Amino acid sequence: MTETSIQLEGITLHFPKQRNIFAIVADFFKKKERKFTALSGIDLEIKQGEVVGIIGRNGSGKSTLLRVISGIYPADEGEVHAAGDISLLAGLGTGFSAHQTGRENALLYGSILGHGEEEMLTKLDEIIDFSELGTFIDEPLRTYSAGMKARLGLAVASAIRPNILLIDEVLGVGDPNFKEKSKKKILSMVKGASTVVIVSHSFGLMTDICDRVILLHHGEVMHDGPPQESIKKYYEIAGE
Amino acid sequence: MMQENEGASLVLRQIGVKSNSLLAPFHTLTEIRKNRFLVRNLVRREVRARYRNAALGYAWTVLEPALLASVYWFLFIMLSGNPDKMYAVWVLIGVIVWGCFSKSLNAATNSLTGNVRTMHLVYFPRSIFPVSGVGSNMVVTMMSCLVIIPIIYIYDLPITFHLLLVPLGVFMAGFMALGFGMMMAPLNCIQRDVQHLIRFITRAGFFVSPVMWTAEMAMERGAWGEAALWNPMVLPITMVRHGLEGKFVELPPAVILSSIISALVIYLVGTIVFSKYERGAVKYL
């Protein structure tokens, strides 16, 4: 299986730096732009079936890169191509409403993640089962503990079977028992998806599951190779 | 590695391609239709949050205008002795319909800035944010409109198909707020002054629009009064009032036509501006 799944060609992304409207207008007339370059000239090809890890120090552009792939930020230069549906797993439980029941929140979160009504209704039992919430599922979310919310979020998010799965630091929620279960679930999602890009700081996991790890530094690809090699490079730059 | 959809070969497609902004008025509609389950859930979330932990819950949507009506009745009819028995009702309707417009406009303007977290974590068409903000206010206003049932009973008003003008007027107020708000939302991402300005405009607009006055009162005032009728909000408010009275909108045809045209133009410009600048504006958040 050597078909391309994700292809980035010369991706450059700037963030505007000047937030004051007068300054923006002034800069517009002076024909200069103040900006911060988050990603510069990223070329990357990920084949179908690959599990790719992304590491780098804080602010190196890891999350931004995932957001560009999923379409949240449009690239200023370059093109992103992808094959199949993409799902970004980040910040479990986005948009949860404290005043609605767990069941309603499952439907709400599912629809935010892009699922249709029928799909969600057929998966609802499985989701409730996995969340281990029992009778709490019909209680308002404000009565939940942080761990319970995370469980519900993971249960909904893991009900998806996308072609491309992007994971941004969502491992390790809940009590040890559930942590183990959630890790297993995510690993099974990784196996189920044809292509996976994962951002994480748990290098142990990365070495276990990734075919290849990319090291980002100041928005550029610094190293692209086997996990051990990239992690070694990471420690070299982290110690500088 | 095992793959479930082996037969269907996946084709590479470009991510984050910008569709033609000029088609945005149509695209917005198809996006709403495609994401109707999401819109419905977001609207429900807003409405639920508003009436949380209240014993009377949704009853407040009707109770609030009903209590307001009795205050107006006491103020205008009993204290100032206004000869028009219906005046308190007209003011109440003005407040309800104008409230729908101003709350929807504020919601749409703040729809991008208020959903930063969601926007950073998932991608779906961004027009869903202003649409669901306006939608939730329309739903609440429609529920408030149930207050006309006791009013019809008390004032012994005719029950005719003209009552359909009531939801239509509310819809038009929300529709105009959507277009205007979509124009403002990307700008608000860059500078929050926009939301303060819009809040001021909705407060000032309260007096310029026929909330405390009616189109009939304006028409008796000569040139200045007639000029006031060109405000696009005159039509939706008057529509609801006249519908309740059991008659079709009695405004000069030119005024009706210009209001409808301005509502459409506001929507066209709003959706085009939104689709053109939303992508860049999100980077400011």
Q: pLDDT confidence of B198, banded at 50, 70, 90?
A: very high
Query: Rg of chain A over CA atoms, in angstroms?
Result: 20
User: pLDDT for B146-174, tens place per residue?
Assistant: 888 988 999 899 899 999 999 999 999 99
Task: Please indicate whether, in this complex, the C-beta atoms of B124 and A114 are within 8 angstroms of each other.
Answer: yes
- The whole-number average pLDDT for the span B200-210 is 92
Could you tell me the strand order of the sheet in which A4-16 lies? A35-47, A4-16, A77-83, B12-15
The better pLDDT of the pair B136, A171 is held by B136
Instruction: Determine phi and psi for A6, rounding to 5 degrees.
Output: -130, 135
Interface test with B, best of A46, A97, A163, A187 (most B CBs within 10 A): A97
Task: Please indicate whether, in this complex, the C-beta atoms of B45 and A108 are within 8 angstroms of each other.
Answer: yes
Q: Chain A contacts of B112, Cβ < 8 Å?
A: none
Task: Please indicate whether, in this complex, the C-beta atoms of B190 and A19 are within 8 angstroms of each other.
Answer: yes
Q: Which of these, B187, B181, B178, lies nearest to B284 by C-alpha position?
A: B187
Burial of A212 (0-12, 13-18, 19+ CB in 10 A): middle
Nearest Cβ partner for B14 among A1, A3, A80: A80
Instruction: Using alpha carbons only, give the angle B47, B61, B141 rounded to the nearest 5 degrees.
Output: 75
Q: What percent of chain A has pLDDT over 90?
A: 35
- The whole-number average pLDDT for the span B233-242 is 95
Output the average pLDDT for chain B: 89
B21: CB partners within 8 A, 6+ apart: B272, B275, B276
- The whole-number average pLDDT for the span A63-87 is 90
Q: Chain B contacts of A75, Cβ < 8 Å?
A: 16
Interface test with B, best of A94, A167, A196 (most B CBs within 10 A): A94
Q: Chain B contacts of A20, Cβ < 8 Å?
A: 191
Q: Is the pLDDT of residue A130 over 90?
A: no
- Low-confidence winner among A1-15, A62-76, A95-109, B123-137 (lowest mean pLDDT): A1-15
- Predicted pLDDT at A19: 64
- Predicted pLDDT at A2: 67
Task: Please indicate whether, in this complex, the C-beta atoms of A112 and B37 are within 8 angstroms of each other.
Answer: no
Task: Please indicate whether, in this complex, the C-beta atoms of B190 and A24 are within 8 angstroms of each other.
Answer: yes
Q: Is the pLDDT of residue A182 over 90?
A: no
- Predicted pLDDT at B4: 44
Q: What percent of chain B has pLDDT over 70?
A: 97
Q: Read off the tokens for B250.
A: 């009695």
ipTM beyond cut 0.90: no
- The whole-number average pLDDT for the span A171-181 is 67
Q: Is the pLDDT of residue B100 over 80?
A: yes
Distance from CA of A199 to the nearest CA of B (A): 14
Q: pLDDT confidence of A161, banded at 50, 70, 90?
A: confident
The better pLDDT of the pair B236, A161 is held by B236
Q: Chain A contacts of B44, Cβ < 8 Å?
A: 100, 104, 108
- Predicted pLDDT at B5: 46
- Predicted pLDDT at B9: 62
- The whole-number average pLDDT for the span A30-39 is 80
Q: Is the pLDDT of residue B3 over 60?
A: no
- Predicted pLDDT at B10: 75
Task: Please indicate whether, in this complex, the C-beta atoms of A7 and B12 are within 8 angstroms of each other.
Answer: yes
For B:12-31, CB contacts with A below 8 A are 12-16, 18
Q: Is the pLDDT of residue B187 over 50?
A: yes
B196: CB partners within 8 A, 6+ apart: none
Q: Is the pLDDT of residue B36 over 80?
A: yes
The better pLDDT of the pair A53, B224 is held by A53
Can you list the positions of beta strands (E) in chain A? 4-16, 35-47, 51-56, 77-83, 86-90, 164-168, 195-199, 212-217, 220-225
- Predicted pLDDT at A107: 93
Distance from CA of B218 to the nearest CA of A (A): 40
Q: Chain A contacts of B193, Cβ < 8 Å?
A: 21
- Low-confidence winner among A138-142, A144-148, B80-84, B209-213 (lowest mean pLDDT): B80-84
DSSP, collapsed to helix, strand or coil, labels residue B26 as helix
The better pLDDT of the pair B98, A200 is held by B98
For residue B280, the one-letter residue type is: G
Q: pLDDT confidence of B7, banded at 50, 70, 90?
A: very low
- The whole-number average pLDDT for the span A153-177 is 78
- Predicted pLDDT at B136: 95
Q: Chain B contacts of A14, Cβ < 8 Å?
A: 283
Q: pLDDT confidence of B20, banded at 50, 70, 90?
A: confident
Task: Please indicate whether, in this complex, the C-beta atoms of A1 and B124 are within 8 angstroms of each other.
Answer: no
The better pLDDT of the pair A177, A143 is held by A143
Q: Report the interhelical angle of B87-109 vs B128-144 (nearest 10°).
A: 160
- The whole-number average pLDDT for the span B55-64 is 81
- Low-confidence winner among A79-88, A124-133, A173-182 (lowest mean pLDDT): A173-182
